């Protein structure tokens, strides 16, 4: 039994300690907003926050984050998160949408630590978040829009 702290709730989970956090979130806790796309930390679709920092849950053994503060797309509460999501909606960033939970998790982490990111800062922070639909131009614009709205 491991204790996980996800979105402010404590869960006891009975899984092998080497199980990636992604599959515990999706299959055990039924939090399916965090996506599986590559399983090898190459695409960012599975990005969650661990103690506020973005992390690829597909290659993170669940035992490594027991007791830590885990936030998924379902648990985003901060002002920054709300503003980011509003900007995403205003600019209609999404296409198929499958990568977007991960994009938003990375964007929120960026703006939380850097209120005025440059294009280069955005490129660096979101480098690991792939979008097959190539919504990148709007992702960039939405992050700038959110930064403006956060004042």
**Which residues sit at the interface with ligand FES, rule CB under 6 A?**
36-39, 41-46, 56, 58, 94-100, 131-133, 135
Give the nearer residue to ligand FES in terms of CB position, either 58 or 83. Answer: 58
| β-strands 47-50, 9-13 pairing | unpaired
Secondary structure (3-state) at 90: helix
CB burial of 43-78 (b: ≥16 within 10 Å; e: otherwise) equals bbbbbbbbeeebbbbbebebeebbeeebbbbebbee
Nearest to 24 by CA among 53, 52, 65: 65
Give the nearer residue to ligand FES in terms of CB position, either 8 or 97. Answer: 97
> What residues make contact with other proteins under the rule CB under 8 A?
15-16, 19-20, 23, 26-28, 30-40, 42-43, 45, 72-74, 76, 85, 88-89, 92-101, 104, 122-124, 126-127, 129-140
Shortest approach of other proteins to residue 69 CB, angstroms?
A: 18
Shortest approach of other proteins to residue 34 CB, angstroms?
A: 7
């Amino acid at each position: 039994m491991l204790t996980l702290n996800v979105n402010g709730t404590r869960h006891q989970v009975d899984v092998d300690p080497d199980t990636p956090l992604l599959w515990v979130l999706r299959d055990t806790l039924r939090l399916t907003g965090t996506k599986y796309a590559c399983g090898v930390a190459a695409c960012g679709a599975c990005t969650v926050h661990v103690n506020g920092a973005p992390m690829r849950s597909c290659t993170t053994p669940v035992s490594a984050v027991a007791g830590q503060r885990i936030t998924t797309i379902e648990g985003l509460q901060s002002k920054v998160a709300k503003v980011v999501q509003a900007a995403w909606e205003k600019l209609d960033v999404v296409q198929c949408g499958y990568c977007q939970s991960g994009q938003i998790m990375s964007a929120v982490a960026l703006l939380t630590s850097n209120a005025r990111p440059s294009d280069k800062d955005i490129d660096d922070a979101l480098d690991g978040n792939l979008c097959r639909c190539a919504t990148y131009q709007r992702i960039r614009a939405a992050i700038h829009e959110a930064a403006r709205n956060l004042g």
